[in-house]
Amino acid sequence: MKIINKNIPWHFLTLFILFSLCAGLWVATKKIDYTWRWNRVPQYFIYHDEELIPIPFDGVVASLSNLGDQTQIKVVSEQGEEKTFTVDSNAVEVSEGEDLFQGDYLGAVFEWRAGPLLKGLWVTLWISAVASIFGMIIGLVTGLCRVANNPTLRSLSITYIELIRGTPLLVQIFIFYFFLGTVLDISRIVAGISALAIFAGAYVAEIIRAGIQSIPKGQMEAARSLGMNVPQAMVYIILPQAFKRTLPPLAGQFISLIKDSSLVSIIAITDLTKSGREVITSTFATFEIWFVVAFLYLMLTSVLSQVIAWVERRLSVSD
C-alpha cells in the first residue's frame, strides 16, 4: 500500500503532461482555423445502403402483400409473365393496379454495408497475417540454414539476409510489383504479400539464428547422446527453447510487419492506408481520418502484443 501511495503524485504528473500535450494540440489546430468534422467519420466504417429495385419489363402491379418489415410485390408483364420482388415496407413506391414501364422503381431494400475504412482494416489484417505466416516459415528455414554445416546453405542464407536488410522495403515492393509482377505475371496482392513476407523473413532468420545460438551447446550434446538425430534434437530440444527466448524480438518484428504493410498502398492495394487516402479525397477531413487510421493500426498492433505477452506468460512456467 505504501509503495502505491508514494507513486500517486507521479501518476498525476504523467496524466498532467499527457493532458497538456493534448491541449497544446487542440490550441494549435484552433489557430489554423480547422473545422473538425468527426461526424463524417462513422459512415466510412459502416453505412446504411439503399438498393433500388427496378421492374424488368413493362407491366402492372398485380398485388402487394405486407409481411411486416418487408413487402412482396407481384408484377405481371403485358405478355402474362409473372414475377415477385421483395422490398422494405417503408420504401414501397408503387400501389396495386399501377401501370409501370421497364426500369421504374418498385421500392428499395436497405442494408448495412462495411465502409472503406472497415474494408481497408480487413485487407491490412489479412495481408499482414498471411505475410507473417510466410515470413515466419521463410525466417525459420533461413535461420536453420544460417547455422547449418553446409557452406552453400550458409552462404545463400547470408546473401539473402544481407540483400533484403540492405535495401528499403519500399524499393523492394516496387521491384516485386513492376519487375517480378511483370516477368512472372503475378497480381499486385501476391506481389505485395511476397515483398512483405520476404522482407520480414530476413529479420526473422537473424532472430531465430540468435535464438538457436543462445541455447547452450550441452543441450544439443545431451539430445545427441540420447540417440536423437539432428532434426529430432532441433524439433524437441533446441527450437522450443529458442522460440521462447526469441518471442519478444519476434513480437517486435511482426508488429513492424503490420505497420510496414501500409507501404503496399503504393502499388494500389486498398489497405487501411489507401482507404484512408480515398476517404480524405471525398471528405476533406484530413486530420480526422489520419488520426482514425493511426488509431486502427494501434488497435491491431496492441492486440498482437497482448496475445504475445499471454503466450510469454504461459511459456514462463518452466522458469
Partner 1 sequence: MIKTVDLKKTFIGRGQTVHAVDGVSAHIKPSEVVVIIGPSGSGKSTYLRCLNGLESSTSGKIEIEGVDLTSKKTDLNRVRREVGMVFQQFNLFPHKTVLQNIVLAQQVVRKRKDAEAEEKGRMLLEKVGIAEKEHEYPIRLSGGQQQRVAIARALAMDPKIMLFDEPTSALDPEMVGEVLEVMKQLAREGMTMVVVTHEMGFAREVADRVLFMDQGKLVEEGTPEHFFTAPKEERTKAFLRQVL
Cβ within 8 Å of residue 50, ≥6 positions away: 91, 108, 109, 110
Q: Name which position in 183, 216, 295, 314 contacts partner 1 (CB under 8 A).
A: 216
At 113, the amino acid letter reads R
Query: Shortest Cβ distance from residue 150 to partner 1 (Å)?
Result: 17
Q: Name which position in 19, 178, 236, 310 contacts partner 1 (CB under 8 A).
A: 236
Residue 158, C-alpha cell as written in the block: 547470408
Which C-beta is closer to partner 1: that of 56 or that of 240?
240
At 88, the amino acid letter reads D
Residue in 187, 189, 195, 190 with CA at minimum distance from that of residue 169: 195
Which C-beta is closer to partner 1: that of 152 or that of 318?
318
Does 219 help bind partner 1 (rule: CB under 8 A)?
yes
Which region, judged by CB under 8 A, interacts with partner 1, from 28-36, 90-98, 194-202, 220-228? 220-228
Number of residues that bind partner 1 (CB under 8 A): 22
Residues 277-316 that bind partner 1 (CB under 8 A): 315
Query: Shortest Cβ distance from residue 213 to partner 1 (Å)?
Result: 17
Q: Name which position in 225, 281, 313, 314 contacts partner 1 (CB under 8 A).
A: 225
Residues 238-277 that bind partner 1 (CB under 8 A): 240-241, 244
Residue 70, C-alpha cell as written in the block: 418487408
Is 263 in a helix, a strand, or coil? helix
HSE on the CB side for 166, CA within 13 Å? Answer: 6
Does 204 help bind partner 1 (rule: CB under 8 A)?
no
Which C-beta is closer to partner 1: that of 42 or that of 240?
240
Can you give 230-246 as a three-state secondary structure string?
HHHHHHHHHHHHHHHHH
DSSP of 163-194: HHHTS-HHHHHHIIIIIIHHHTT--HHHHHHH
Query: Shortest Cβ distance from residue 215 to partner 1 (Å)?
Result: 10
Please, are residues 54 and 103 in contact by the beta-carbon 8 Å criterion? Answer: yes
Which C-beta is closer to partner 1: that of 16 or that of 236?
236
At 188, the amino acid letter reads R
**What is the signed CA dihedral for 144, 148, 151, 153, rounded to 10 degrees?**
-30
The site for partner 1 (CB under 8 A) is made up of 216, 218-219, 221-229, 232, 236-237, 240-241, 244, 315, 317-319
